Amino acid sequence: MRLVFVGLGKMGRSILRGVLDKGFLAPEEVGVLGRSPERTRELAQAFGIQPVRPEDLARAERVLIAVQPRDFPALAPLIAHPLTGYLSIMAGVSTGVLTRRLGTRRVVRAMPNLAAEIGESSTALFGPKEAEEAGDLDFARALFATVGDVYEIPERLFDAFTGMSASAPAYLAVVAEALADGGVRMGIPRALALKLAADALAATGELLKRTHPGRLKDEVASPGGTTIHGLFALEARGVRAAFMEAVERATLRGQALGEEE
């Protein structure tokens, strides 16, 4: 078996769909280990992949750990095999912790975001030289490319990447909801306001791939116009500082999760 998913929540399912839909792996090459035998069978049937028991993991080429960080200490002894490669999408769990608990340096740390669901994730990757030499890092690059773009970054930036990129869909969802609420306040029907907010964020994302955000802002904000007055209100409420603090708080929480290990 080429890859076993340990845990299969929302993010794990998005990655699994990308892997299967893009033909990176065939269903018979993929297994799943759930929190119980019943859950394992249920997930395997739902996705047409193989049910796996903890003792079967010794025969797996690689294991993708997709559980909550708090569950990892108890899980690690059950899944640790020195000849297996491991990929982790657990926030805050360093390669040092993975190595210590799994008994191998063949570990790759990855951090995708919710956009994996639509093949538009930004995924950070890091692995030590042992993972590079064993081909685990190459495997991870190809695997996560099935759900979006892949960025290899130093591990010291992982918590910041998590606090910014991995958390960004939640931040921007709040922006969309607030924009819609503003439209409703001014008389736009709720359904239309939500659609307009979603369209605006999607289109702006595409524009930002082509130009600097400051330039885009200046192009929309004409002298004495409506937009500059709206921007003044945002600045008065400290919107920039709020977003910067959100990234900082999320980064610090990622660091704290790592310290709990």
Residue 232 token pair? 């003044």
How far from chain centre, in Å, is Cα 255?
A: 16
3-class state of residue 208 by DSSP:
helix
Q: For residue 73, report the phi and psi dihedrals to the nearest 5 degrees.
A: -55, -40
User: What is the sign of the dihedral through the CA atoms of 71, 72, 76 and 79?
Assistant: positive
3-class state of residue 151 by DSSP:
strand
**What CATH topology corresponds to 3-154?**
Rossmann fold (3.40.50)
Q: By C-alpha distance, which of 36, 150, 135 is closest to 89?
A: 150
pTM of the model: 0.88
Note the pLDDT tens digit of each residue in 129-161.
Answer: 999 999 999 999 999 999 999 999 999 999 999
Which pLDDT belongs to residue 238?
Answer: 97
Rounded Cα distance, 35 and 214, in Å: 47
Rounded Cα distance, 21 and 47, in Å: 11
Rounded Cα distance, 120 and 124, in Å: 13
**Residue 47 clears pLDDT 80, i.e. is over it:** yes
**Residue 258 clears pLDDT 80, i.e. is over it:** no
**Residue 199 clears pLDDT 70, i.e. is over it:** yes
199 burial (CB, 10 Å; 0-12 / 13-18 / 19+) is exposed
Contact 60, 3 (CB under 8 A): yes
Where is the binding site, in residues? 66-69
Query: What does pLDDT average to over the chain?
Result: 94
Contact 84, 63 (CB under 8 A): yes
List all residues 6 or more positions away from 73 whose beta carbon is below 8 Å from its beta carbon: 101, 261
> CB atoms < 10 A from the CB of 158, how many?
26
Rounded Cα distance, 244 and 241, in Å: 5
Q: For residue 124, report the phi and psi dihedrals to the nearest 5 degrees.
A: -90, 145
Rounded Cα distance, 47 and 54, in Å: 19
**Residue 204 clears pLDDT 80, i.e. is over it:** yes
CATH 3.40.50.720 maps onto the chain at 3-154
Note the pLDDT tens digit of each residue in 74-108.
Answer: 999 999 988 899 999 998 899 999 999 999 999 99
Which DSSP helix (H) or strand (E) runs through 44?
helix 37-47
CATH 1.10.3730.10 maps onto the chain at 168-257
**Residue 261 clears pLDDT 60, i.e. is over it:** no
Helix 10-21 to helix 37-47 angle (10° resolution) is 40
Average pLDDT over residues 160-182: 96
**Residue 191 clears pLDDT 80, i.e. is over it:** yes
What does DSSP say about strands 121-126 and 148-152: parallel, antiparallel, or unpaired? parallel
Average pLDDT over residues 31-37: 93
Where is the binding site for NADP(+), in residues? 66-69
pLDDT band, very low/low/confident/very high, at 255 (cuts 50, 70, 90)? confident
**Residue 259 clears pLDDT 80, i.e. is over it:** no
CATH number 1.25.40.10 is the correct assignment for the domain at 168-257: no
Which pLDDT belongs to residue 203?
Answer: 97
